[in-house]
Amino acid sequence: MTQTLTSSQSTEFVELPTDVADLLKAEAKRSRKSVAQIIMQWLEDQSDGRVAAKRMQDLKSGKTKTLPADEVYARLGI
């Protein structure tokens, strides 16, 4: 069984299994956000996670390196 969820600003409809829709609605109510905001935050978090994983991969492979904070501050004159 599927359920259609929409937000007041949405122009798209998404069909979800009822249990997923219920979880989204419960989380929206708990956090006092719209379902669209919950989904958008999750998508942003996923994107941030991919960027972080790529940066960690670059650090581990030696493609990039870190600098001590005091060196960064000295370069910036802080």
Whether residue 3 is predicted with pLDDT greater than 70 in this model: the reply is no
**Higher confidence at residue 10 or residue 11?**
11
| DSSP conformational letter for 10 | -
Give Cα 56 distance to the centre of its chain: 17
Q: Does the model's pTM come out above 0.85?
A: no
In total, the chain counts a number of residues equal to 78
The whole-number pLDDT of residue 38 equals: 96
The whole-number pLDDT of residue 13 equals: 85
For the stretch 18-34, pLDDT in tens is 999 999 999 999 999 99
Taking the C-alpha atoms of residue 29 and residue 32, their distance in angstroms, rounded to an integer, is 5
Q: 7 exposed, middle or buried (CB, 10 Å; 0-12, 13-18, 19+)?
A: middle
